[in-house]
Structure 1
């Protein structure tokens, strides 16, 4: 196989999943570790991928760049589904739950369709739509007001005002990025304000985020990692990152089947 063919396959895989490991590429393409690393170096030199520990990832965007919801919904689907199942298992019938915007949190909503007597407060249009249209048991779904963002979430002063005085048992929070120093981050200032209000209204914070969010830093910090009670991610997160997160969050959970 020619170098350009290998590199196109690497680009296709990174574009499909967000990140790829050198070891997986070696097994799939039947070439040496050195060859794959050389291909990744060339692609990185052209700005097509970012070199990361053990592999390659999509190039980092500016901290204010916010992908559309429809784009995010097609990425890391298997991992996000496993994370959603794990997060939903922590929700008990009769509880009050906050659900923030995001493609992973929308999948959490799908997993909650059969949980009775929930009161769900959300700023996510897809989450509210999923629970309203497809629910099979009695649930109360409350949607905040606010200005619509590219992630199909509502943010800003109206959303924050709607959350004032609300008391939730737990919050399932989706994030744009996770970083040891920056914490949980978001590229949209209006959405950041709303996420902070959701956190302040909740007794327990559950973050649902796939491994590609690790090392990504958005424009503004939502919360520090020490504020997180449970962080649920997938098995694509490397050991070094797991060790760092385990020291900061209350509990790190790797979703089974991811």
Structure 2
């Protein structure tokens, strides 16, 4: 089973690129983020025509997450992260596909920091940690897939320039520590399990020739529960899709499990 996380940066604007990816790579599960689409404008018919069932949690103009499943309908388990009933951001959805629990996560950016947006990011990470512990307690294969908006380390393995990102919320010590607290619950970072060393980037900004200079960083992660990690076959980044015309600024990032 191939599970991909893909921040599409506007599903209607990037729909040709998404459909192209689904046709060429045929992932079994696609966890999408930053739909920027209300529920009623989600392109369900186009997704269905491509051979995928879908569940989604939209928000007009901002955020939005979805889970697609090839040849079947995902079984929705949860829409929205528990812990804050007044949270209006559409950033979390969870479904079961083929015996795997998949979560599509769009973590808050947190900029500018310090400030309320950064505080919200850290509080959201705390809520995610609590829910992740509940998922681990189920002792089933789980993949936490998404745009985490956290660069895990300050090394050149994860970021092109420590200086350039030093004041960014994505690389603050508090963000990294909150990410590690989740990881240390017992999750496996699939990309680093496959590539323990070396630069692996998943995002390249549209400005300053970042793509052309390979000035990227790693913020799209797939964390696997022990039951899923035991099935790990491969993981990687479909980098070339970032270079296509009118592409998202993220590249699809994936894991393959033997299930």
What TM-score, normalized to structure 2?
0.35
- Please state which structure has a larger fraction of its residues in helix: 1
Give the number of the structure with larger relative contact order, counting CA–CA contacts within 8 Å between residues 6 or more apart: 2
Bigger Rg over Cα: 1
TM-score normalized by the length of structure 1 = 0.35
